[in-house]
Amino acid sequence: MLQLRRLLREIRGGELLLLAVSLVLAVASVAGIAGFAERLKLAMGERSLYFLAADQVLVSPSPLPPEWLEKAENSGISVAKTVSFRTMVYGSAADPADEKMLLVALRAVSDRYPLLGTVQFSDTVYGNAQESAGGPPRGEIWLDSRAFAMLGIAPGAEVEVGEARLLASRVLVDEPDRSSSINVYGPRALMHSGDVASTGVVQPGSVVDYRYLFAGDTAQLDSFAGWLEPKMLPSHRWRTLTDNQPALAQSLDRAESYMLLAACLAVALASAAIALSAHRYGQQNIDRVALMKSLGASRRYILSFYARQGAVLLGLAVLMGGLIAEALQGLLFQSIAQLLNVEVPAGSWRPLLTGAITAGVCLLCFAAPPLWRLSRVSPMRVLRRDQEQDNAGLAMPLLLGGGAMFGLMLWFSNSVALSVAVMLSSVVLLLLAAALVLLCIRGARSLSTRMAGSRQRLAISNIYRRRYGNAFQLGSIALALMSLLSVFLLREMLLKDWQSQLAEGTPNYFLINIAESELAELDGFFSENGVAHAGIFPMVRGRLSHIDGVPMADTDIDANTAGLNREVNLSWSAELPSDNRLLAGKWWSNTAHTSTDSDRLPVSVESEVAERMGAELGTRLQFNIGGQTLDAEVTSIRGLDWQSMRPNFYFLFPANSLGRYASSYITSFYLPAEQRPLLVEVMSAHPTITLIEVDAILAQMKEVVSQLSAAISLIVLLLLVCALLVCVSNVQLSLDTRRQEYALLRTLGAGNRFLRATLFLEFAFLGGLAGLVAAVGANLCLVALQIWALDMAPRVHLWSFLFTPLASAVLVTVLAAGYGRRLLRTPAVALLRGR
Amino acid sequence: MIRVDNVSKTVRSGSEELTILKGISMEIKAGQSVAIVGASGSGKSTLLGLLAGLDSPSSGYIHLQGEDVTAMTEDERAALRARAVGFVFQSFQLLPTLTALENVMLPLELSSAKGARERALELLEQVGLSARAGHYPRQLSGGEQQRVALARAFVVEPDILFADEPTGNLDAVNGGHIEELLFAMNQQRGTTLVLVTHEPHLAELCERRFEMRDGQLAEQH
Ligand SMILES: Nc1ncnc2c1ncn2[C@@H]1O[C@H](COP(=O)(O)OP(=O)(O)OP(=O)(O)O)[C@@H](O)[C@H]1O
Ligand SMILES: [Mg+2]
């Protein structure tokens, strides 16, 4: 009871306040960020399920064995099936001469389709969309507006598909799982899967894509997937969000990396604050422990007293931190739920547990060493103040804590690279700061003895005398500022990056399947209507068949996950596309290449796909293009930006080198909504060209990005508080050490103005130096992260080299002025007596 | 009660060895009051610390209530202090985050005695501070703080009370008040009193007087 009261008083009185706040912050930032990341993932997962129209989707080139589906249904999972193929649709007209035919991408869907989300349809061509819980009933077919237009019929007409006559009852606007990839060609249509047999279109050997949709609770699905796993053929594969939305996946990936980095930094900063404030608390308690011992307290009593103190403090911190984390998440998810139009799943206890464990470990590692030393204080101190001044440094907690911090980062970032990067740069920074400080101080001192006034000389000699303590303090302030600066700069970069990709004018339509003969006309159309396009690229479709002479089937590369199981788009270009980055190898010189059977063509491969298929510079690849083989050798590796919404290619060949294969062209362009009618014009003039809309994806990405921006801004704020805390603890600790000295100076006749000036000069110097180190560190750290972790182009922020030292000097001086006020006001006697 | 046999204390400061106490022997009987005087730096506080078991001597033996303190561990000595020893210090040494009452209760809580509150209030009453029980040390004057410290020292009914310059930080009036209280409470309870002081008249009040000089102790008669 007395203990709790004492604890609360110490928090209120300020002695434990910083430690308490540091702990709360450690819990809040870790639990908040981890919780946010977790729930965002859940929410986005949920959202992506709408894009799958199910919880899980299995893709297969042939029907699945019925036992599999029975097994699924028996275990309580809902199952739906879609069968996609391309076929001709014949419109019926009064005059058979007017009858038109059209190649459509047809999907036949079973009764339960879609398991999640709705099908959007309209009653009129290009009309307003309505929602339907299911697809067309038997005997009906829903065609999209373009199909109606191109067949020259209206809803209500009959069409023929193979041998079946179906009623074209409605206009298909959108299916939830409509693929956004470039694999879907031509106008689309939706019918019932029960009618497939009667059309007679699907024959053995037809190219058909079977999708099986499953929905159920996670446990059921997991056990079903586990049951299925050993039975699955190489041609079966699970669809994921990444499959059809590489751009969104990349945004989320970056945001996640960012958050984990921020969480790591927050832990590092909170740890530093905990270490500093625990150290200070230990110092303040030396006399009290001596007194308690003289009154008969045993060492065990002291240890358990402070251990209980720590436990209660931790408990309070977990409670407070948990509440703050919850509030932060509530704030963020309130709007995210509206934007994403999903129920944000409730968070689990895990993030709070993570936060609690983090804070606990930090407290243990950073507070245990001072506590241990505290328990060894000699009770003789009650008689002789000067007894064994406890000046054991922060080395022990630093080592212990550094190890613990690394473990924690590893634990919840699950990324060795990130943890090592943060840890290593912190250590390097600390050492750098220490070295720099010692050097600067030495230099300044020799300078000051010659020229500066007595005030400056005193300030500098003060800094010099405490140089080791100062080096550490400066290092930790620099670390705090560096973390803050990095996170801030990274935020700016991410935002800019996202925004530039989602800026007005980001291509929202793709045209593919453009024939060479149509190029001129299309170009004319673009320039006539002032439509900006991303360039028209040639492309040849081919399948990767061999890697280094080994057939794909015999390699241990999972072609499904590598995205190489189907035909890929090959293109050629003389120049490196402007938004591509050369990561390895050389781009070809401008000499034209022509393919002969004897030599190998150079090929430039996208970095991720290269990694997935284990290709390096010099790897030999063989492609099968419409039955012909093409030999190539990897001569360069490129980085791509999937968010640019421009045509991108996994494989690029030198200009004109694929001339002998049948090729088509692809482009993407931006068309504002009001210019949409132009599309009908182009599309009816060129019915074989395929149009793909990515408006929906863009809109979704915009939502997500604005949400993520809010989230990372909040995180920057959190780090700001952490960094401030480190600075405050630091300043307080160093003011403590000045007590005696100031008292002495005061008794020797130093006036208040003199002391204040000394204090300010000292802290301004330290602050400025810390800022400089921080700017160097942050820029180094950023460049490293941009290159290795975030996959962005590196950039140095020059302004930070001027701004940070200034801001830091001001901040530290202001803090010192604030906290030093009391010190400057206290009379000398009281200072000397230590009260 | 207290027996000191040939006790020496040597400390290292830097590379030098400094012998503070050189073969001190003395015996104090139960209920006696003893003053130790001597020049500053002569080793009075060091000796007091050894007597109270706050520190252990480099050589020699100290017996407190028949028990060999020098053979005890630090924790055993702490237990002995909790049981039988009270302290008054020059610089009061109250815990700033506890009220006057809680400061007085502290030693009782350390030995988990029952009725701590009532006992503490009683003692505060005796030193005339029951009205200030809820005040924090910083709200009390130096003299009042030392009275709280006295109450704290006597609250465990110690067999021996050690005082290191109890009036050293106080003016004459307050110092006199503390002296009176100290001796009154001491006599009331028959406590053995060991007192280090610079003030001759305080030393005069004690039954026996020792003088510390160059680390050696001589009784004055
Ligand atoms: N642990 C120690 N390390 C170094 N020197 C010590 C230590 N303990 C005591 N001394 C020295 O021993 C001498 C005696 O110290 P002590 O505090 O006992 O003197 P004192 O008689 O109480 O003096 P005062 O009247 O000023 O309080 C002093 O010179 C002191 O500096
Ligand atoms: Mg002394």
Question: Does residue A472 register a pLDDT over 70?
Answer: yes
Condensed to tens digits (0 to 9), the pLDDT of residues A424-446 reads: 777 877 787 778 777 877 777 67
Condensed to tens digits (0 to 9), the pLDDT of residues A241-279 reads: 555 555 666 666 777 777 777 877 887 888 888 888 888
Q: How far is the CA of B164 from the centre of ligand 2 (A)?
A: 7
HSE-up (13 A, CA, CB side) for residue B186: 27
Condensed to tens digits (0 to 9), the pLDDT of residues A150-181 reads: 888 889 999 999 888 999 999 988 887 765 43
Fold for B2-220, please state it.
Answer: Rossmann fold (3.40.50)
Between CA B113 and CA B156 the distance in angstroms is: 9
Q: Please state, rounded to an integer, the average pLDDT across all residues of chain A.
A: 79
Examine residue A64 and state whether it is found in any structural domain, yes or no: no
Mean pLDDT calculated for residue range A518-533: 84
A380 and A445 both lie in a single domain: no
Between CA A214 and CA A82 the distance in angstroms is: 12
Tokens of A240: 């994921």
| End residue of a domain, out of A160, A192, A215 | A215
Distance from CA of A834 to the nearest CA of B (A): 10
Examine residue A236 and state whether it is found in any structural domain, yes or no: no
Complex-level ipTM: 0.90
Disruptive mutation site among B73, B93, B155 for chain A (greatest number of A CBs within 10 Å): B93
Question: Does residue A140 register a pLDDT over 90?
Answer: yes
Among B143, B150, B117, B121, smallest CA distance to B133 is for B121
Between CA A477 and CA A459 the distance in angstroms is: 19
Q: What percent of chain A has pLDDT over 90?
A: 6
Domain range annotation of chain B: 2-220
CA angle B75, B80, B86 (to 5 degrees): 120
What's residue A267's pLDDT? 79
HSE-up (13 A, CA, CB side) for residue A716: 16
Question: Does residue B157 register a pLDDT over 80?
Answer: yes
A402 and A293 both lie in a single domain: yes
What's residue B208's pLDDT? 92
Dihedral sign for Cα A190, A195, A198, A201, please.
positive
| End residue of a domain, out of A363, A382, A414 | A414
A700 and A649 both lie in a single domain: no
Distance from CA of A337 to the nearest CA of B (A): 48
Examine residue A67 and state whether it is found in any structural domain, yes or no: no
What's residue A835's pLDDT? 40
What's residue B36's pLDDT? 93
Quick check: B205 contacting A, CB < 8 Å? no
What's residue B25's pLDDT? 92
Examine residue A749 and state whether it is found in any structural domain, yes or no: yes
Among A484, A477, A472, A481, smallest CA distance to A816 is for A477
What's residue A102's pLDDT? 83
8 Å CB contact between A306 and A10: no
β partners of residue B68: B63
Contact B49 A15 (CB under 8 A): no
A–B interface: beta-carbon pairs under 8 A: 82
Regarding the beta carbon of B18 and ligand 1, being less than 6 Å apart is answered yes
DSSP letter at B165 equals: S
What's residue B28's pLDDT? 92
pLDDT band, very low/low/confident/very high, at A34 (cuts 50, 70, 90): confident
Question: Does residue A130 register a pLDDT over 70?
Answer: yes
8 Å CB contact between B179 and B88: no
Quick check: B145 contacting A, CB < 8 Å? no
- Which is more confidently placed, A421 or A725? A725
What's the Cα-to-Cα distance from A336 to each of A264, A498, A539, rounded to whole Å? Answer: 24, 17, 39
8 Å CB contact between A390 and A286: yes
A284 and A373 both lie in a single domain: yes
Between CA A645 and CA A247 the distance in angstroms is: 8
8 Å CB contact between B217 and B60: no
Question: Does residue A413 register a pLDDT over 80?
Answer: no
A539 and A645 both lie in a single domain: yes
pLDDT band, very low/low/confident/very high, at A595 (cuts 50, 70, 90): very low
pLDDT band, very low/low/confident/very high, at B160 (cuts 50, 70, 90): very high
- The residue type found at A336 is I
Q: How far is the CA of B37 from the centre of ligand 1 (A)?
A: 14
Examine residue A227 and state whether it is found in any structural domain, yes or no: no
- Which is more confidently placed, A629 or A473? A629
Question: Does residue A643 register a pLDDT over 70?
Answer: no
8 Å CB contact between A598 and A588: no
Condensed to tens digits (0 to 9), the pLDDT of residues B63-122 reads: 998 889 989 888 888 888 888 888 888 877 888 888 899 899 888 887 777 888 898 999
Torsion angle in degrees (nearest 10) through CA of A692, A697, A702, A704: -170
8 Å CB contact between A190 and A141: yes
A658 and A722 both lie in a single domain: no
A256 and A405 both lie in a single domain: yes
Residues in chain B: 221
- Which is more confidently placed, A704 or B23? B23
Quick check: A380 contacting B, CB < 8 Å? yes
Query: Roughly what angle, to the nearest 10 degrees, separates helices A350-375 and A17-52?
Result: 160
Question: Does residue A831 register a pLDDT over 60?
Answer: no
A182 and A260 both lie in a single domain: no
Residues in chain A: 835
What's residue A365's pLDDT? 83
Q: Structural domain of residue A439, as residue ranges? A: 419-504+695-835
A404 and A264 both lie in a single domain: yes
Examine residue A230 and state whether it is found in any structural domain, yes or no: no
Regarding the beta carbon of B41 and ligand 1, being less than 6 Å apart is answered yes
| Tally of domains within chain A | 4
Instruction: Considering only the beta carbons, identify the residue of A15, A295, A383 that sits closest to B48.
Output: A383
Burial pattern A812-823, b for ≥16 Cβ within 10 A else e, equals bbbbbeeebeeb
What's residue A560's pLDDT? 55
Torsion angle in degrees (nearest 10) through CA of A568, A573, A575, A577: -40
Disruptive mutation site among A295, A298, A832 for chain B (greatest number of B CBs within 10 Å): A295
Least confident of A598-612, A672-686, B29-43, B176-190: A672-686
Record the pTM.
0.70
Examine residue A223 and state whether it is found in any structural domain, yes or no: no
Between CA A785 and CA A767 the distance in angstroms is: 26
Residues with CB under 5 A from ligand 2 (ion): B 45
A557 and A661 both lie in a single domain: yes
Question: Does residue A281 register a pLDDT over 60?
Answer: yes
Cα A406 to chain centroid distance, Å, stands at 20
What's residue A182's pLDDT? 37
Regarding the beta carbon of B11 and ligand 1, being less than 6 Å apart is answered yes
Among A491-495, A786-790, B132-136, which range has the highest average pLDDT? B132-136
